[in-house]
Structure 1
Amino acid sequence: MIRLDNLLYAVQPRATRQVVHIPPSWVDRQIGPVVVDSREVTPGSLFVALTGERTDGHLYLPDVVERGAAAALVSPAKLAALAPDWSAVARPWRLIEPSDGSALATVPPEACLFIAVDDPLCALQRAAVYHRRMFTPTVIGITGSVGKTSTKEVVAAVISQRLRTLKSQRSFNSDITLPATLLGLTADHQVAVLEMGMWAAGEIRFLAALARPHIGIVTNVGPSHLERLGSIEAIANAKAELPESLPPDGWCILNADDPRVAAMAKRTPAHVVTYGFAPHADVRAVEVISHGLYGIELTVSYQGEQHHLQTPLIGRHHAYTTLAAIAAALVVGLDWEAIAAGLRDPGERLRLRVVNGQQGVTIIDDTYNAAPLSTIAALEVLAETPGRRIAVLGEMLELGSATEEGHRQVGAAAARTADLLVAVGRQAQTVAAAARAAGMAEAQVIVCADNDAAIDRLRSLIQAGDCLLVKGSRGVQMETIVTALQG
């Protein structure tokens, strides 16, 4: 939430900002939360009218007004050019210049304010920078090729045991959604846990400039986004922008088991804490025991002492998620009792979830996204489940030159972990061929051209006691398979 007078000041270009004087009746008006999708507008929201590849937020302003938004950041030129249909809108609205607070004297209090800006996205980012500087939370930034959202959720769950914590919603990690999260800061927040993603070099550095993190966590470096950045080295350099952006009195938390991440210790001015299984890791997993779909328990060594912990997080790979959260908690001064409590109840469900399917089957739904590393980790979870294990694997996108090799790695892993493989989509033959080459029998490998074909085949194949893992990149919509097979 942000006060209206602060918002009007903050969205102006810094070089020409003017102090805004508004009528007393408007002084205490609070605006927020920030939304960029008109369907998510609730009473009091701040809508940002963005121009995208397929549509323009200015077209939906009538709906935004009707849904009760308090204000919207708009481009007057876009508003005039697109001319949205106002014929069915009963609620008043007014277009105002952000520097002219006196104009509010003639605006009815129930009106939606259209705040005229040069560029709605740039105005949102300016507002986020201004709002961030009003508060002094410890900001924790998290990046990595995979595991960002899971790590963010667990870090926030643990730290909130002792400190009032703001966290990014969903996977809000872009130049649009991170500023929206920052505008949710209040004086009550002691910590903010923010996910930082990237599409190109320089973007994490930009996000860090907005958020000003004191603590940075890098989970790993892998071939996700290889199609855009061109090489693993370029991806590592992009992820290293977070460690490089930390202050000298900050803390950089690095995965000791990933050589590219561990090397970032030389690129940060901050203090370094490492985590992993390596003997030299500061926060080290001595032993991990998986209980399949019932979570993991692990013994962690830190400063010569060992601590036994349990979490409902599914899969051995979540030992890394857990260790990163422990390291962050220790840096901000939490005790082991709080750490253990936070790990036992990590709050909102993470991306991997277990649902009941038709005919008495269990479905492991890990359809949010996919890369070779995360898919192999999910297959290892499948391997620990009882019953007949069926891997339903879709295409992994944005791997660039690593596309063929990445899908071959996943096919070979499926042969080690699954009883049946259902490979779906354009890379299905590559996955299937690798599984056969790794020893999977022909009868155990099924190739489907698309999701609909996979659904039809699975409906005739599944039986009580089966466990299905469904995973693929976001763009191939593997969640439709889960929906079709749910009980």
Structure 2
Amino acid sequence: MLCDIAKPSIGVVTNIGTVHAERAGSQEIIAKGKAELVESLPSDGTAILNYDDPWVRAMAEKTRANIFYYGLDPNAHLWADEIEGLGLQGIRFRLHFQNEQLHIRVPLIGRHSVHTALRAAAVGLVDDLSWQEIIYGLQQGHSQLRLAAVSSQSGALILDDTYNASPDSVMAALNLLDELQGNKCAVLGDMLELGPYEQQGHQMIGVRAAQVVNRLITVGEKAKIIAESANQAGLSSNAITSVPTVPEAIQVLLGTLNQKDVVLIKGSHGLHMEQIVNALEVNS
């Protein structure tokens, strides 16, 4: 096991999602695999756990190490509230730790990114960094390989979130899209490796998409479930297009976008939906 080689003294477990459930079999099995990290920690080490995820929270019982919880729940050691999304400018929130409160703004996109900031701060606190050092580090943060905003040839704003997709990450991306102004379009591809959660995962995304977007384009066979669910949730069939491949999605989009449009592009890495961004962006 990798932990036997690296021998970490600090272990961070973020969440137990449904990605890879097709291979693992269930969230329970995924949780068991991730728990191997905290089980390997020494007694003078620290397990940093997301209190908001019950699967992760329960891992405290599987380690001899110290426990440090982070999350949005006041029962966590480090927690946040008053979270405000600032669109593409980042987020603002209030941090709580022991008897201290700090208001902070960070350049991480989307309200869901507060968990990213919290776990980074948690590692800093466990490693005895000062608040000044932690806040400075958070304010330099940026998301490599994750969501990026690029301009299209038509003047539309493209939200490139094509690195990968799971129900949680697509939901977070749609929530960000909901914060922005403009004619909102989501181009959503298959979410792969969900196993027994495939139907439910795609359906929940369709429901949320119907609440957020003016136009929905789905790519792939599994993503048809998103389209059907969105239609059932109230999005007009005239606003929905389903295509089997990425090249066909590009053809649908080319020539139809304008500067008032905001387009989210997201799907599992195996679909290579970055090709859509490459075809649309201004320097292509």
Q: TM-score range by the shorter chain?
A: over 0.9
TM-score by length of 2: 0.97
- The match for 1:263 among 33, 40, 58 is 58
How far off its partner does 1:443 sit? Answer: 1.6
1:390 aligns with 2:185: yes
Is the counterpart of residue 238 in structure 1 residue 28 in structure 2? no
State, as a whole percentage, how many aligned pairs show the same letter.
45
1:310 touches 1:340 (CA, 8 Å); kept in 2? Answer: no
Structure 1 counterpart of 2:109: 314
- The answer to whether residue 91 in structure 2 is matched with residue 296 in structure 1 is yes
Which one of 81, 105, 118 corresponds to residue 286 of structure 1?
81
Query: Cα offset for 1:367?
Result: 0.6
Confirm or deny that 1:361 pairs with 2:160.
Answer: no
TM-score normalized with structure 1 length: 0.57
In structure 2, what is the Cα distance between the partners aligned to 1:263 and 1:282? 15
CA displacement, residues 348-387 of structure 1 (integer Å, 9 cap, x when unaligned): 6351111111210111111111110111011111111111
2:20 to 225, 235, 239: 225
Which consecutive residues of structure 2, in runs of 5 or more, have no partner in the other structure? none
CA–CA separation in structure 2 for the residues paired with 1:347 and 1:380:
19
CA distance in 2, matches of 1:210, 1:440: 52
Match of 1:473 among 264, 268, 271: 268
- 1:377 aligns to what? 172
Change in CA separation of 1:419 and 1:347 when aligned onto 2, cut-off 3 Å: closer
Task: Give yes or no for the alignment of 1:438 onto 2:233.
Answer: yes
Distance 1:217 1:439 in 2: 40
Secondary structure, in 3 states, of the residue corresponding to 1:358?
A: coil
8 Å contact 1:428–1:448 — kept in the other structure?
no
RMSD: 1.1
* Secondary structure class of the residue paired with 1:359: coil
Aligned runs of 1:415-426 on 2, under 5 Å?
415-426=210-221
Q: In 2, distance between residues paired with 1:222 and 1:280?
A: 22
* Matched letter for residue 378 of structure 1: A
Aligned counterparts of 1:347 and 1:260: Cα–Cα separation in 2: 28
Q: Which letter does structure 2 place at the counterpart of 1:396?
A: M
User: How many pairs are equivalent?
Assistant: 282
Structure of higher RCO (CA pairs closer than 8 Å, 6+ residues apart)? 2
- Cα contact 2:108–2:143 (8 A) shared by 1: no
Counterpart contact for 2:145–2:163, Cα < 8 Å? no
1:454 and 2:213 aligned: no
Point out 4+ residue stretches in structure 1 off by more than 6 angstroms. none
**Separation of aligned partners in 2, 1:230 and 1:443:** 37
Code of the aligned partner of 1:316: R
The amino acid of 1:275's aligned partner reads: Y
The yes-or-no answer on 1:323 pairing with 2:118 is: yes
* Structure showing greater Rg: 1
Q: Structure 1 residues 214 and 467, CA, compared in 2 at 3 Å: closer, same or farther? A: same
